[in-house]
Amino acid sequence: MSTGKRIQERDVVIQTIAKLMIPFIQLYGLYVMVGTEGAGGGFQGGTVLAASFILLVVAFGVDKGRMKMPEGWNAVFKSLGLYLYAGVGGLLCIIFSLGKAEYLNYSAIPLAKIIGGPATRGFWVGNVVEVGIGVTVMAAFVSIFYDLVRKEESVKEGGAEE
């Protein structure tokens, strides 16, 4: 019982440092995720963003974390990322190629008539596909982390009741 109480008291140092660091971690995650000229990509950027939320939960507790990043939004983000990749890009290419089945072939988007095929591919891959991957990875990791935290808490409560 006493150990549980000691975990509940949060450290001011950890909270202040986390408050300072979380915005910069998220900015860095976005830098890694969006754009193609730097290092990294969707998977790495999504992991860095998820790490920022995990730091939030470690510093402020799972309730504050669930307030900032609700689980409903988590589920929405998870699906939205996959749709940005498989759904939006694929549907656009299917529709605008007039039934010729150019799935994931971004040169079929009408934007290609204005700025050219390769530039369209570059734009779409760098700013839509990578963001989709990153959003899915972030939401999946945060959701798995929330579930594991809840499992541990419920076990602890059960132990305390006994």
Residue 118 sits in the site that holds other proteins (CB under 8 A): yes
Rounded Cα distance between 155 and 19, Å, is 29
- Letters for 47-66 (x = contact with other proteins by CB under 8 A, - = none) are --------------------
Do residues 45 and 30 lie in contact, with contact meaning Cβ atoms separated by under 8 Å? yes
Rounded Cα distance between 131 and 108, Å, is 20
Q: CB within 8 A of 96, min separation 6: which ones?
A: 108, 109, 110
Rounded Cα distance between 48 and 60, Å, is 19
Cβ-based nearer residue to other proteins, 18 or 129: 129
Q: Which stretch binds other proteins (CB under 8 A): 14-22, 23-31, 55-63, 127-135?
A: 127-135
Q: Rounded to the nearest whole angstrom, what is the least distance from the CB of residue 6 to other proteins in the complex? A: 26
Instruction: Say how many residues touch other proteins, by CB under 8 A.
Output: 47
Residue 103 sits in the site that holds other proteins (CB under 8 A): yes
Q: Rounded to the nearest whole angstrom, what is the least distance from the CB of residue 38 to other proteins in the complex? A: 8
37: which DSSP letter? S
Q: Rounded to the nearest whole angstrom, what is the least distance from the CB of residue 129 to other proteins in the complex? A: 5
Runs of H (alpha helix) within the chain: 2-8, 12-33, 42-60, 62-68, 71-82, 90-96, 112-115, 117-124, 130-161
The residue from 75, 95, 157, 159 that contacts other proteins (CB under 8 A) is 75
- Letters for 23-52 (x = contact with other proteins by CB under 8 A, - = none) are -------------xx---xx----------
